[in-house]
Amino acid sequence: MPDIAVSTGLLAAARQVASPNCDERPPGNGPELVVIHGISLPPGEYGGPWIDRLFTNALPAAAHPYFATMHHLVVSSHALIARDGCITQYVPFHCRAWHAGRSHWRGRGNCNDFSVGIELEGSDDEAYDERQYQALAGLLLALQQAYPLLADGWIAGHSDIAPGRKTDPGPAFDWKRLERDLRAGGARFRREVLA
């Protein structure tokens, strides 16, 4: 299981790429929800430097036609799990990453204030890799052990907190598999799907 240093909010086993797109959480808001995202840049393509570039405000608009529509975005996530299961961390877990956008969860808005965002390199309609599920379960277990409010096990997809606006991680993501993996490792899993 990965180790998180609570004092720094950093995952020891992760490649670290610091994003400037983060800030302090509002007073009284610790991480209590994990939001699972799916991302590929360009869409449907994996590997390359583009996700790092997006989260560090260095995505070149001319490198791909799709980038011209999004290079101006100022966004981040706490971590990315690549197709091979390797983890890159962009924002310390105790800080606020800018991953959720307009969002609501259990009657609360602004999910960035109280959530951890984890990106999976993938797309809505292509199966995620076995190594990603293994890395995700290990990371979630480490988060639940490091942050008391996350020990409740609340996990949502981006589509759950921004229905109608976001679809990721998509129907290809196996929620039942994640639940089995977490429970087998002694972690909790709670998910509330919005109708």
Q: Which residues are catalytic?
A: 119
What tokens does 170 get?
């998509």
Location of structure tokens 């988060």: 143
Location of structure tokens 């808001």: 29
Q: Where are the beta strands (DSSP E) in 2-137?
A: 4-5, 10-11, 15-16, 22-23, 33-39, 79-81, 87-89, 96-97, 104-105, 108-109, 115-121
Q: Is 23 left (phi over 0), alpha (psi -120 to 50) or beta?
A: beta
